[in-house]
Amino acid sequence: MSQRQYFGTDGIRGAVGSFPITPDFVLRLGHAVGRVLRRAHQGAGRPTVLIGKDTRISGYMLESALEAGFSSAGVDVLLSGPLPTPGVAYLTRALRLDLGVVISASHNPYGDNGIKFFSAQGEKLPDEWELAVEAQLEEPPQWVDSASLGKARRLDDAQGRYIEFCKATFSAELSLKGLRIVVDAAHGAAYQVAPAVLHELGADVVAIGCSPDGYNINAGFGATAPQALVDAVRQHGAHYGVALDGDADRLLLVDGNGRLYNGDELLYVMVADRLRLGQAVPGVVGTLMTNLGVEQALARRGVPLVRAKVGDRYVLEELVARGWLLGGEGSGHLLALDRHTTGDGMVSALQVLQATMRSGLGVAELLADVTLFPQTLINVRLQPGQDWRRNDRLASEQAAVTRELGEAGRILIRASGTEPLLRVMVEARDGAVAQACAERLAAAAQAPA
């Protein structure tokens, strides 16, 4: 397979004003995607795409550039305005559109932005499609004539439609009445949607991180900065707090005691709820970073965990390949494929809250069987040309530590995909042991190969 030049693991992303996040390139990108759509759509009428975005100031510029690119290729455009990434995926499928487009850099600061795409089924697109778009980008543009230009219009009540979808994933026999819930939307795409979903299901809602100004997305709020949520839960005497990231596909949760729960723990709660209902859970997909304590707790309940590469894209691919439904990663990207085709922070929050309401137990009680292993991560800077795989001292030390830990811990050594760093992670029942073992491995990694 050819190497992708522009697409990363989650679309195209970068600093606004630097290639490729510039209006001229994004116009060309829209045109190239439109050309690929037109070829696949021959004889079936004019293709239609939905464009949604988060709350970054640069979204206006990139939205206009994409719209022009699609129109110039003869593709119609629907504009939703600010909408969570999973909301774009849902509406693309529900409205029988040909493509969903999201302008967002997720949890990154406002100076970054990106473009990602969903298929007509609301799913991530395969590498082959991305390669076809990149090939089209190398071709000269083929502007359509005036009679063939695409039209653009606003999609009325996109947020309302998505709110109803989220509510429909929550049991009709339950409500959130009696619960005070703080919701933190990171000043991002869910700033209107998230409070409305919880309020309409009966909760007393306190909203923070819901006042975007184009510059404050993810700044001190949301899933990447959860202390604001912890403080607000305590201040308002709330039962729970829900934190999303800038495009609302990631979830962290806080209980009334101010305890923060990560994605690994929330995934376990979702699995346990299915098992309590008598539903089969043939397996769960995590990542290389999923906590060993969660894996062992699942195993005690007869549920195997398979580890994919880090990234929700790879978790999704593994779930689809195995025909399983539940997966996720510690950062809060959670997947319930019988509820949605992609990771959805609000839907995941509702699954966890539903489990507490159905069982009458708090999240801490639902996690009573799970003891997380302390993890130590050390980044080792690699020298130019250094091949850590051929480091005999590291290999020897890794074998020794593996023997010492046995089933009471594990090692993960992997190269960063973006920096000249080797990431050395050790987890063990004893945090001091994890720290000592990680330091031994890091020292060995720095030795000459």
- Point out the domain boundary residue: 156, 179, 199: 156
Do 176 and 249 belong together in one domain?
yes
Residue 1 included in any domain = no
- Residue 293: what pLDDT? 95
* Structure confidence at residue 44 (pLDDT): 73
Are 244 and 250 contacting, i.e. CB atoms less than 8 angstroms apart? Answer: yes
Q: What is the mean pLDDT of residues 107-124?
A: 95
Segment 162-187 mean pLDDT: 98
Q: What residues make up the domain containing 127?
A: 12-156
- Write out the two tokens for 394: 């590291």
The answer on 305 and 281 residing in a single domain is yes
In this structure, the answer to whether residues 149 and 184 fall within a common structural domain is: no
* Whole-number Å distance between alpha carbons of 320 and 315: 9
Q: What is the pLDDT of the chain when averaged over all its residues?
A: 95
Pair 86, 225 in one domain: no
Residues 6+ apart with CB under 8 A from 214: 55, 56, 57, 110
Say how many C-beta atoms besides its own lie within 10 A of residue 44's C-beta.
8
Residue the block writes with tokens 């880090």: 310
Structural domain count of the chain: 3
Domain boundary among 111, 130, 156: 156
User: Does pLDDT of 449 surpass 90?
Assistant: no
Q: What is the mean pLDDT of residues 379-391?
A: 88
Residues 251, 336 within the same domain: yes
| Torsion angle in degrees (nearest 10) through CA of 103, 67, 142, 97 | 80
Same domain, 92 and 75: yes
Residue tagged active-site, from 72, 80, 106, 119: 106
Q: CA–CA separation, 169 vs 355, rounded Å? A: 13
Q: Does the pLDDT at position 310 exceed 90?
A: no
- Given a cut of 80, is residue 325 above it in pLDDT? yes
Q: What is the pLDDT confidence band of residue 382, given thresholds at 50, 70 and 90? A: confident
| 124 and 178 assigned to the same domain | no
What mean pLDDT is predicted for residues 125-145? 95
Report the pLDDT averaged over residues 10-32. Answer: 96
Please check whether residue 227 lies inside any domain of the structure. yes
CA proximity to 390, closest of 308, 448, 321: 448
- pTM to 2 decimal places: 0.92
Which residue, of 366, 387, 421, is where some domain finishes?
A: 366
Contact residues for 92 (Cβ-Cβ < 8 A; gap 6+)? 50, 99, 100, 118, 119, 120, 122
> 251-298: per-residue pLDDT in tens?
999 999 999 999 999 999 999 999 999 999 999 999 999 999 999 999
Inform me whether the pLDDT recorded for 1 exceeds 70: no
What is the domain-level CATH number for residue 355?
3.40.120.10
What 3-state DSSP class applies to 363?
helix
Examine residue 4 and state whether it is found in any structural domain, yes or no.
no
pLDDT of residue 2 exceeding 70: no
Active site residue 106: yes
Residues 169 and 214 in one domain: yes
Minimum mean pLDDT range among 92-96, 261-265, 324-328, 388-392: 388-392
